[in-house]
Amino acid sequence: MRFSSLARTTMASPFTVHRLHMRGRHRLVNCLNGVQRTFRRSAGTEPGAVQTEGTLGEDSGEKDGPKSFYELMADRQEQAEKSVLISCQSRTSEKKFLNFLSKHGDIKKHFFYESYGVYAVVEFACRDNVVSLLESAAIPSVSHESMVPFKSRLLSLRNHSSGESPSLPCQPQTTVPINELIQRLSREQSVDEQISSLTEAYQLTEENSRLRFLVCSLLKDIAAAYFPECTIKPFGSSVNGFGKLGCDLDMFLDLDTISGKNLKTPKSGLSLEYQMKRTNSERHVTQSILSVIGECVDHFGPGCVGVQKILNARCPLVRFAHQPSGFQCDLTANNRVAMKSTELLYLYGELDPRVRSLVFTIRCWARTHGITSSIPGAWISNFSLTVMVLFFLQKRSPPIIPTLDCLRDLAGPADESVIEGNDCTFVTDFSKILLQSNTDTLEQLLTDFFEFYATFPFSRMSINIRKGKEQNKPEVAPLHIQNPFETSLNVSKNVNSSQLDRFVALCQESAWLLQQSETRTPTGVGGKRTTKPWGLATLLLPSQVAGVKGRKKRKPHHASERIKSLLESLKSKNDGQKNSDS
């Protein structure tokens, strides 16, 4: 059924210029030179990255175009299954450490990082190597405490010999502070370079991604005590391509590998089936499973602290901190629609490098101004904000990304997915997606994004990435963004009108700032690079527009006098407008 609609759409679709294989992709991307370098960091080519063999890029880089979401997940999960996490002393000799571990097998990759001490992530060539390593590990001897004898792949290295080595080279797992970022951006020569630089500074590194999958794999070992065939998969910003260093780790306990394995009952003769406990609701099953796993994590999970079971939420979850990785974790079950949204966002991010760059920039801008927050409340969520960016990119002329309906029409039979009655089908094969030749620069896109939402008719219209067109609002809510898969839901239902007003006012201010000749270009003297905030950097300075200051009281900022006076003039212009409106 989908094949016939695929043929039809391919003919009729406006996306007929660039097929997303490497050749087409390069043609499109060549006009975006600055963007390309943004993606090198996550491929692990940063100087100083500790690599055991090959380059990290070999595993994560693109060979014949981007990896599908499933390939990415499968590769990362396999790496994680062959990995261990070891707490080390900082002054351990790296060479000795590797020699010691390689007695159990070849080490494919390793790196160190700091989080309440120094840790090493070590990936072996095969799982037997990990088994051998675990068999050689001792049970700690403690005299005044009792221990839960749960063995896991989280270990501690004991160094019984004397002698000091240089500190182990640690990979950063956190973002640069905002002031440092502003300075860094101010040294760039164009807004496009600033956007690329921001993305490079904020995006998840190769190492951080590996660590996220490893934490899921360690958690899976705990859940496997009850459900040996389960998997735990990351979703949300850890894997959708829009994750910032330090973002939370959303995890999904997948039990479908168990219940999905349904053998056909023979029509005649004998057969067996499992006796299983029955309850009257799926939600109740999810709550019971999470309750038990939550208890296990709390009582037996090494490094898991502050476990909270939030089982009455719309989406029940277990929240805890995983100390060795420093991740704030949310474990959910039966959350397949969120997994599908993650896959969709991943696909959009891979279609064109400008998507990720713009999303990173807008997310960073929003966070700096307190439009988004890590605490749940009446503000816009990162997920909603990302959907807003996608919608804006669909509305470009020509569009930069296709609509969800277009992606659904391109889907093949293997892509069919219906979850709880919701059509979650869309194409997963990148090569079927045709992109149009849009050559907008990132600077243009950023300016136009702010203008677009500064004047968007929020009071009447809903944002809809399925159609790629605004639709009449089906219900009263200050901000209406249709949930891409559960289409009767509004993903920004929580947002109140004052938060929306702040967003709009900040969009107006930022659009205006980007158009001012005094702030839109660097002011280098004698060819020297400026460190005075300009371009994107000025957008990250505290806002001067009345009523849109952050929720928290901010320290006095270091905007230049020039910017202050520009902002003052904007303020008086706004005041004048208000007076003439009233």
Residues near Mg ion (CB under 5 A) are: 236-237, 248, 250
CB of 249 to ligand GTP, least distance (A): 9
Specify the residue, 199 or 519, whose C-beta has the smaller distance to ligand GTP.
Answer: 199
Count the alpha carbons within 13 Å of 184 in the hemisphere toward its beta carbon: 17
In the complex, least distance from residue 364 CB atom to ligand GTP, rounded to whole angstroms: 11
Is 379 a binding residue for ligand GTP by CB under 6 A? The answer is no
Q: From the list ligand GTP, Mg ion, none, which binds 383 (C-beta under 5 to 8 Å, kind-based)?
A: ligand GTP
Q: Pick the closer one to Mg ion by CB: 214 or 251.
A: 251
* Ranges within 249-308 binding ligand GTP (CB under 6 A): 250
What residues contact 193, with CB distance under 8 A and at least 6 apart? Answer: 34
**Residue 315 Cβ vs ligand GTP, minimum distance, rounded to whole Å:** 8
Q: Sign of the CA dihedral 481, 486, 488, 490?
A: negative
Residue nearest to Mg ion (CB): 236
Query: How many chain residues interact with ligand GTP (CB under 6 A)?
Result: 18
CB of 382 to ligand GTP, least distance (A): 4
Q: What tokens does 472 get?
A: 């009449």
The residue to which tokens 């809809």 are assigned: 464
Query: 330 or 352, CB closer to ligand GTP?
Result: 330
Choose, by CB under 6 A, the member of 32, 216, 222, 337 that binds ligand GTP. 337
Binding to ligand GTP by CB under 6 A, coded x per residue (else -) over 467-486, reads: ----------------x--x
Tokens of 132: 């051998």
Question: Which residue's CB is nearer to ligand GTP, number 337 or number 513?
Answer: 337
Q: Is 289 helix (H, G, I), strand (E, B) or coil?
A: helix
Asked if 491 interacts with ligand GTP (CB under 6 A), we say yes
SS3 425: coil
Q: Which amino acid is at 291?
A: S
Of 396, 405, 322, nearest in space to 355 by CA: 396
Tell me how far CA of residue 487 lies from CA of 313, 316, 417, 431, 470, in angstroms. 20, 21, 15, 27, 14
Rule CB under 6 A: say whether 436 interacts with ligand GTP.
no
- For ligand GTP, which residue of 382, 436, 438, 508 counts as binding (CB under 6 A)? 382
ω into residue 47 within 30 of 0, thus cis? no
| Minimal distance, residue 259 CB to ligand GTP, in Å | 22
Please pick, from the candidates 107, 125, 338, 454, the single residue that binds ligand GTP as defined by CB under 6 A: 338
Q: Which residue is nearest to ligand GTP (CB)?
A: 236
Instruction: Examine residue 368 and tell whether it contacts ligand GTP (CB under 6 A).
Output: no
Is residue 204 within the footprint of ligand GTP (CB under 6 A)?
Answer: no
Q: Which residues contact 399 (CB under 8 A, 6 or more apart)?
A: 14, 15, 393, 436, 438, 468
Q: Are 140 and 209 in contact (CB under 8 A)?
A: no
**Phi-psi label, residue 264: left if phi above 0, alpha if psi -120 to 50, beta otherwise:** beta
Helix (H) or strand (E) holding 94: helix 94-101
Q: Smallest distance, Å, CB 219 to Mg ion?
A: 16
Q: Output the smallest distance, CB 325 to ligand GTP, in A.
A: 15
Of 220, 229, 251, residue with least CA distance to 80: 220
Site for ligand GTP in 161-190 (CB under 6 A): none
Residue 33: both structure tokens together: 């030179």
Q: Are 446 and 385 in contact (CB under 8 A)?
A: no
| Residues paired with 481 in a beta bridge | 463
Among 69, 360, 379, 383, binds ligand GTP (CB under 6 A): 383
| Nearest Cα residue to 227 out of 279, 298, 286, 307 | 286
Rounded CA gap, 437 and 26, in Å? 12
Binding test (CB under 6 A) with ligand GTP, winner from 209, 240, 499, 508: 240
First to last CA, the chain: 57
Contact call for residue 248 and ligand GTP (CB under 6 A)? yes
Pick the stretch among 115-123, 210-218, 377-385, 409-417 that binds ligand GTP (CB under 6 A).
377-385
- Which of 233-241, 404-412, 429-437, 547-555 is the region at the interface with ligand GTP (rule: CB under 6 A)? 233-241
Name the site residues for ligand GTP (rule: CB under 6 A): 235-237, 240, 243, 247-248, 250, 337-338, 341-342, 381-383, 483, 486, 491
